């Protein structure tokens, strides 16, 4: 299952033995690497540094996992790595860089699908059941929730939060947090709620209405922080509270609330 042209160097471990993995032609595994069962590393892929990959993952052609962060001040002697969970598919030319912090990790959860040429920079944290279309670009220190869909070519500035069940339209450019349950579009704009996604995910009509009411007050009517705090105290639906919390406790850049014109 390991092609004779593959290069394996350093402390490479297969949790269920060599017979449980497939390593393609000219693939490179170099460093302190752990691969779970039924992982597939396709031709010319490169996994390096300190990298842990769970079970049932596919690393596509020419992908680079665990590479040095694109940070001019980074010291390559820093001990850091990449942690990847189970049932992830990383297609061709996907790049995931290791953390810039001593002992730090860039992390990817479970059941994620990253399409061709998606880039995950250093110190990014990604949850579960997310889909990134081709050429999605995440800068460093971004937090991505669960059940997120990012359209092709969408780009995200460093230190952002991307909330659960949110979407980004193709070529969206965001330098502010994307609140949960919303659709990001253009330059720091919201095109509305991810209503179809919420319905497909099984959110009840009552919960969807509570989120919609919170969205209308914050985004459409421009409620102040004081008003958002008041709404927060009187709203019962946890999902609406999660939406409001994005504005009460945003990241460094603040949360986007500009409606699409």
Query: Which are the catalytic amino acids?
Result: 122-123, 140
CB 178 within 8 A of CB 155: no
Q: Is 54 helix (H, G, I), strand (E, B) or coil?
A: coil
**C-alpha span between 197 and 212 (Å, rounded):** 13
**C-alpha span between 90 and 87 (Å, rounded):** 10
Pairing of strands 58-59, 131-132: unpaired
The one-character DSSP state at 173 is E
Q: Give the rounded distance of the alpha carbon of 96 from its chain centre.
A: 10
CB 159 within 8 A of CB 250: no
The upper half-sphere exposure of residue 141, i.e. CA atoms within 13 Å in the direction of its Cβ, equals 11
- Residue corresponding to tokens 């990012």: 150
Q: Give the rounded distance of the alpha carbon of 120 from its chain centre.
A: 7
């Amino acid at each position: 299952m390991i092609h004779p042209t593959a290069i394996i160097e350093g402390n490479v471990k297969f949790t269920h033995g060599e017979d449980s993995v497939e390593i393609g032609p000219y693939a490179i595994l170099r460093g302190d690497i752990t691969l779970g069962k039924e992982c597939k590393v396709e031709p010319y892929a490169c996994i390096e540094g300190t990298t842990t990959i769970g079970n049932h993952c596919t690393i596509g052609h020419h992908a680079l996992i665990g590479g040095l962060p694109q940070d001019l001040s980074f010291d390559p002697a820093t001990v850091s790595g990449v942690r990847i969970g189970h049932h992830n598919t990383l297609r061709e030319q996907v790049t995931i860089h290791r953390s810039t912090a001593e002992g730090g990790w860039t992390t990817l959860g479970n059941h994620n699908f990253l399409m061709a040429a998606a880039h995950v920079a250093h110190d990014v944290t990604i949850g579960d059941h997310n889909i990134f279309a081709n050429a999605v670009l995440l800068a460093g220190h971004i937090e991505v929730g669960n059940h997120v869909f990012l359209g092709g070519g969408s780009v995200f500035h460093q230190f952002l939060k991307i909330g659960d069940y949110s979407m980004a339209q193709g070529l969206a450019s965001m330098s502010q947090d994307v609140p949960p349950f919303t659709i990001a579009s253009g330059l720091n704009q919201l095109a509305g709620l991810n209503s179809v996604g919420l319905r497909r995910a099984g959110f009840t009509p009552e919960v969807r209405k509570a989120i919609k009411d919170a969205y209308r007050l914050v985004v459409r009517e421009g409620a102040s922080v004081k008003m958002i705090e008041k709404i927060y105290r009187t709203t019962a639906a946890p999902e609406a509270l999660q939406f409001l919390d994005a504005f009460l406790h945003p990241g460094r850049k603040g949360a986007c609330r500009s409606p699409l014109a």
